[in-house]
Amino acid sequence: MTDMRFASALAADQAAADSIPALVDSIAGEGPQNPDLALLFTAPTSGAEAEAQIAALESTLAPTNSIACSAEWVIGNDREVEERPAATLLAGWGEGMACSAFELGDTDWKTIFGTPEGLRDHLELDFEPKLFVLLAEPFTAPLRHLLPAFDSAFPATPVVGGVASGGMSPGMTRLSANGRIRDEGVVGLALGGALEPEIILSQGCRPIGNEFEVTGAERSQITELDGRKPTLVFRDLYHELDSDLQSFIRSGGLLIGIAVDDSEDPPGPSDYLIRNVSGVNPETGAIGVMDLVRSGQVVRFHVRTPAAAADDLELLLSPQAFATAPAAALLFTCNARGTRLYAEPNRDVGIVGRAIGRQVPVAGFFANGELGPVGASNYLHSYSASICLLRPAGERASWPS
């Protein structure tokens, strides 16, 4: 079996100058002095503070490959730290594990988007990646073009990560790749070799009603469902719901799921790409969707509630009861979750810990948009929890045979 080890640490309620030494001390002895990879997520009080933390990590831990970003809130081990400064670290050592940190910015987009292989040529990896972890600046990263570029250059390779949160205007967020600090674009980590990733994407909602075929569409508007006006279809569905679900819908919890694979009949829960409903046109009966739609697609209405978010995450993680515990986990959850969604703290990380084992190192942050695959393609999500479990190659979670 491949010797693969990870360690995570969390420093909360400490001065920025003390947080990195505390993180490094916490993982001391878990592996050789210099890890093969390190991911740092920090909730600082300023950009300068984040830069100092990143520099301190590079000088004290000196990982071979590292990426980092600032965030509004962070996650470490079994805690979600909200509303106060904190930093969390995941470090890894792996025999045969391949990794390479990279950065992409304004001067790279023309090359990357110029040809289908532009991204692969630009990264110049000397191994075939099994996973990409991306951290994006919220105002400058062209993720709606970049994710299809990853799909084209590296087919069926999952992309996880998130959009850095906490920055209210351009230039406030800090990213880094191997200690090189930037305030725009994207940083990332390509992983491969003797490592097997498993991705769990919980979109945090439950379906309501039946599936419908889109029989009329104009870009991001559904103009007809099963030959009827969408508003009339939804009206009939709405009146069949209980008062609690109706209340969540009135408060903005209505979503629509777009089946990503037309061959699945009927689509399963994980076959839908969940998108917000952007509005309705009372004159035409059309419903606006925060994505492009086309005739022939299958859609289903969904609703987001705290219970649905927790239940969906628990269901998707349930196969872990029959699997070997992963070596580590990354958790990227929406910054509208946490206590903004649930009545109690640490809900998402608690569900993850119960499913995979509380001894498993966990690190992540509350993102302003989460990355993860649906079907064979990678997407930018909202209100979701994107989880990446890392195991030695050959170990996968599965139902018992």
The region, left, alpha or beta by phi > 0 then psi within -120 to 50, assigned to residue 161 is: left
Q: How far apart are CA 80 and CA 63, in angstroms?
A: 25
pLDDT score at 13 = 86
What distances in angstroms separate CA 342 from CA 22, 46, 79, 203, 335, one per listed residue? 30, 28, 14, 15, 12
pLDDT score at 264 = 65
pLDDT score at 400 = 45
Contacts of 315 (CB under 8 A, 6+ apart): none
pTM for the complete prediction?
A: 0.95
Q: How far apart are CA 202 and CA 382, in angstroms?
A: 10
Domain boundaries along the sequence of the chain: 4-202+309-392, 206-303
Q: What is the dihedral of CA 348, 202, 391, 58, to 10 degrees?
A: -60
Domain over 206-303 is classified CATH 3.90.320? no
pLDDT score at 44 = 87
Tens-digit pLDDT string for the chain (401 aa): 568 999 999 999 888 889 999 999 999 988 888 999 999 999 988 999 999 999 999 999 999 999 999 999 999 999 999 999 999 999 999 989 999 999 999 999 999 998 888 999 999 999 999 999 999 999 999 999 999 999 999 999 999 999 999 988 999 999 999 999 999 999 999 999 999 999 999 999 999 999 999 999 999 999 999 999 999 999 999 999 999 999 999 999 999 999 998 766 778 878 999 999 999 999 999 999 999 999 999 999 999 999 999 999 999 999 999 999 999 999 999 999 999 999 999 999 999 999 999 999 999 999 999 999 999 999 999 999 999 999 999 876 555 43
Q: How far apart are the first and last CA of the chain?
A: 22
pLDDT score at 11 = 96
Tokens encoding 31: 């592996």
pLDDT score at 95 = 86
Kindly tell me the burial class for residue 65, based on how many C-beta atoms sit within 10 Å of its own C-beta (0-12, 13-18, 19 or more).
buried
Local structure of 289: helix, strand or coil: strand
pLDDT score at 310 = 98
pLDDT score at 266 = 77
